[in-house]
Amino acid sequence: MNMKKIFIALIILIFPGVIVYGQVNAPKPYGPLPSANQLRWQQMEYYAFVHFSVNTYTDMSWGFGNEDPNIFNPSQLDCMQWARICKEAGMKGIIITAKHHSGFCLWPSKYTEYSVKNCPWKNGKGDIVREMSDACKAYGLKLGIYLSPWDRNSADYGKPEYITYFRNQLRELLTNYGDIFEIWFDGANGGSGYYGGANETRKIDAKTYYDWANTYKMIRELQPNIVIWNDGGDRADLRWVGTEAGYIGETNWSLLNKTGDVPEEMLRHGVENGNAWVPGEVNTSIRPEWFYHPKEDGKVKTLPQLMDIYYNSVGRNATLLMNFPIMPNGLINEKDEKAALDFAHAVKAAFAINLAKNAPAKATNVRSKNAIYNASKVTDGNKNSYWSTDDSIKSASITIDFGKAVSFNRFLVQEYIALGQRVKAFSIEAWVKGEWKLLDKQTTIGYKRILRFPTVSSTKLRFTVLDAKACPLITNMEVYKAPQILTPPIIIREQSGKVRIIPADPESDIFYTLDGSIPTRNAGRYTGLIETGNGKAEVKAMAYNAVTGKSSTVTIEHFDISKKQWKILGTADSNVYAIMDGLESTSWHQQQNTTAPVDLIIDLGQTEKLAGFRYLPDQNWWASDIVTNYAFYISNDNNQWQLVASGEFANIKNNPLWQTNMFKPINARYIKLSALHNIQNNNAAGYAEIDIITE
């Protein structure tokens, strides 16, 4: 034994607690802490919602409560299909709408006749919650329950009796179907409804009516491992994030205050000094709406959209609850399945090889200089070990040494949240050409934070906690080179006539042609807006990854004459040009003072030989003012008008896509689209885009 070892042995003998496994010196918990249930839930990261009820059969967002149970008759209902898709999609559980606002129960509740026991499916002998529970077990998934507090069928809704009914149903669901990981109480509460035939509006005070405290007590007794999501009532275990669009704030504290109102800003970001642990769950649907609507078959979220949702939820210290609407036949639509599986593959590919695994790491400060807390704990893959600084140190760095130059574009970091969320600000830098280059500077971390940045090649990465509430505890850091998402690029023609090409991944190269040939990587590299003159244009484009040599499939767009000289007459509203900016996501709406028709008059700037026109209605989720019946006129002097086409845009409400109408070619300088009728039967018309077809 040398002198140093003898000295250490003596110290251990005299002060056993100081060094032995760092017990005495272990960091103390800071602020509110997650419960064991919340910790377990957070680690699930990604799980599913399924929405299914009587309103699936009436194409409505919410059932009114008077829907005849006889309409509920799924011909191919298969919870195994739902579970298989969720499992293959990398999800860890499924939350089923056991009862949505309609009040219709997917299980044969003893306490109401408004359930599967009175529908034709399985002659009233079926139980979808049971089938869901069995399917979850078969696929190793956890089961969650959505039970709407608002019940538009119950005659008792709004009266004290309803609370007993609600609790009876809860008891059934939490007793008869095995372990339930999460219970979901929707914030939509009270309003119009059937209410046993009363057909009236009933208002309740969501804060007092449900007596949540006692309901929570009962829930925890029945399911000790559950987490409670409640948007409207007393603070529970999890919080809504204030939007259904699929993101949470970049700054995201898992804290709120136990009492008091929570405005949307707070839902989005949490409360830095909140006194309760209430982490955020990002809930969104794979399609615009929660329930199935055939009109949305073309609106399933794209891979780039889903990837953004992932980084903006799981990558921002939240979980992701992704909804599948169930079709009337009882299955998940194959487009939704494909989208979810493509998404899962892309996430897997992005996080395939951790370039920082077991890489040597050095810290500017290590708690008590004790190896238990040293920098290597962030790259050792052990979620129970962590790097920590001395109590007085709230800013410190870790440098990870890759040993050679590596290329990367993603950084993942995790706090050891069992002892509280601490980090307020941090940065990451890469060692490039002999100096530190800032890659990103952000605020909170929490359970998991993932950053995206342009690919950089470097031998070292420096992570710096710039500010923290208490000494930082970092359990994990990972570094990745996510491959490019090579979906076909979007091609638009702006009003100027210039063409813009937008790839899914900003790092992709784009190659295009204007002569009808298939683009190759040898010519036609896109570097910015393409001048295509005023005539018609055919543009083909593909996204290309120069490193792997892989390319997307080709997007082909045919554009008619440019709209450079077009003027919309009769309005001073500058937003009107949204209808010819090439972007389907922007729109313009106009209203006539009295009644329809609503006229849109355009001066084309010169005489053209017209053979047709095209109309794209507002593409937003809750779009109104969609024109169903039209008359189309042409003129050469903006005075004498000639009707060249009229009729109905068939099925436009259900399928709000481009409408094309051809007519006998005719010369004209002015066009007038007269909206005679819209979907909501009033005097308004909305347009995402308008186009013409020339001969």
The binding site for ligand FUL (CB under 6 A) comprises 61-62, 186-188, 283, 290
Strands, E assignment, 241-347? 255-256, 276-277, 281-285, 319-325
By C-beta, is 207 or 345 nearer to ligand FUL?
A: 207
**Integer Rg of the chain from CA:** 30
Task: Give every CB contact of residue 382 below 8 A, 6+ residues apart in sequence.
Answer: 475
By C-beta, is 94 or 456 nearer to ligand FUL?
A: 94
By C-beta, is 56 or 283 nearer to ligand FUL?
A: 283
By C-beta, is 62 or 292 nearer to ligand FUL?
A: 62
By C-beta, is 281 or 608 nearer to ligand FUL?
A: 281
* H, E, C per residue of 620-669: CCCCCCCEEEEEEEEECCCCCCEEEEEEECCCCCCCCCCEEEEEEEEEEE
Rounded to the nearest whole angstrom, what is the least distance from the CB of residue 188 to ligand FUL in the complex?
4
Reported as type and span, the H/E element at residue 475 is strand 473-480
Rounded to the nearest whole angstrom, what is the least distance from the CB of residue 290 to ligand FUL in the complex?
4
Rounded to the nearest whole angstrom, what is the least distance from the CB of residue 185 to ligand FUL in the complex?
10
Residue at token pair 């890759």: 402
Rounded to the nearest whole angstrom, what is the least distance from the CB of residue 230 to ligand FUL in the complex?
12
Rounded to the nearest whole angstrom, what is the least distance from the CB of residue 323 to ligand FUL in the complex?
7
Number of Cβ within 10 Å of residue 517's Cβ equals 11
Task: Give every CB contact of residue 120 below 8 A, 6+ residues apart in sequence.
Answer: 70, 72, 73
By C-beta, is 63 or 420 nearer to ligand FUL?
A: 63
By C-beta, is 204 or 598 nearer to ligand FUL?
A: 204
Helix then strand then coil, % of the chain, to nearest 5: 20, 35, 45
Q: Are 396 and 464 in contact (CB under 8 A)?
A: yes
What's the angle, vertex CA 452, arms to CA 447 and CA 457, rounded to 5? Answer: 120
By C-beta, is 62 or 512 nearer to ligand FUL?
A: 62
Angle between helix 160-176 and helix 212-222 axes, rounded to 10 deg: 20
Residue burial 146-170, b: 16+ Cβ < 10 Å; e: rest: bbbbbbbbbbebbeeebbebbbebb
One-character DSSP codes across 567-608: EEES---GGGGGGGSS-TT--EEEE-SSSS-EEEEEEEEEEE
CA gap 381, 21 in Å, rounded:
20
Burial, 637: exposed, middle or buried (Cβ in 10 Å; 0-12, 13-18, 19+)?
exposed
Q: Is 356 helix (H, G, I), strand (E, B) or coil?
A: coil
Bond into 294 cis (ω within 30): no
CA gap 601, 593 in Å, rounded:
17
Rounded to the nearest whole angstrom, what is the least distance from the CB of residue 293 to ligand FUL in the complex?
12
Rounded to the nearest whole angstrom, what is the least distance from the CB of residue 154 to ligand FUL in the complex?
17
Alpha helices in 149-280 (DSSP H): 160-176, 212-222, 264-269
What's the angle, vertex CA 179, arms to CA 177 and CA 183, rounded to 5? Answer: 90
Rounded to the nearest whole angstrom, what is the least distance from the CB of residue 196 to ligand FUL in the complex?
21
Rounded to the nearest whole angstrom, what is the least distance from the CB of residue 325 to ligand FUL in the complex?
10
Q: Are 494 and 583 in contact (CB under 8 A)?
A: no
* H, E, C per residue of 210-237: CCHHHHHHHHHHHCCCCEEEECCCCCCC
Strands, E assignment, 63-179? 93-99, 142-147
CA gap 284, 323 in Å, rounded:
6
End-to-end CA distance of the chain: 96
By C-beta, is 232 or 582 nearer to ligand FUL?
A: 232
By C-beta, is 322 or 331 nearer to ligand FUL?
A: 322
Residue type, 329: N
Give the torsion sign (CA, 223, 225, 230, 235): positive
Rounded to the nearest whole angstrom, what is the least distance from the CB of residue 148 to ligand FUL in the complex?
8
By C-beta, is 282 or 598 nearer to ligand FUL?
A: 282
Distance of CA 348 to the CA centre of its chain: 18
Rounded to the nearest whole angstrom, what is the least distance from the CB of residue 285 to ligand FUL in the complex?
8
Q: Is 446 helix (H, G, I), strand (E, B) or coil?
A: coil
By C-beta, is 51 or 394 nearer to ligand FUL?
A: 51
Q: Are 112 and 105 in contact (CB under 8 A)?
A: yes
By C-beta, is 66 or 354 nearer to ligand FUL?
A: 66
By C-beta, is 287 or 498 nearer to ligand FUL?
A: 287
Q: Is 564 helix (H, G, I), strand (E, B) or coil?
A: coil
Task: Give every CB contact of residue 269 below 8 A, 6+ residues apart in sequence.
Answer: 249, 251, 252, 253
Give the torsion sign (CA, 211, 217, 223, 226): positive
By C-beta, is 180 or 652 nearer to ligand FUL?
A: 180
By C-beta, is 186 or 415 nearer to ligand FUL?
A: 186
Angle between helix 334-350 and helix 79-88 axes, rounded to 10 deg: 20
Rounded to the nearest whole angstrom, what is the least distance from the CB of residue 68 to ligand FUL in the complex?
20
Rounded to the nearest whole angstrom, what is the least distance from the CB of residue 61 to ligand FUL in the complex?
6
Rounded to the nearest whole angstrom, what is the least distance from the CB of residue 99 to ligand FUL in the complex?
11
Rounded to the nearest whole angstrom, what is the least distance from the CB of residue 319 to ligand FUL in the complex?
14
By C-beta, is 187 or 403 nearer to ligand FUL?
A: 187
Rounded to the nearest whole angstrom, what is the least distance from the CB of residue 321 to ligand FUL in the complex?
8
Rounded to the nearest whole angstrom, what is the least distance from the CB of residue 186 to ligand FUL in the complex?
5
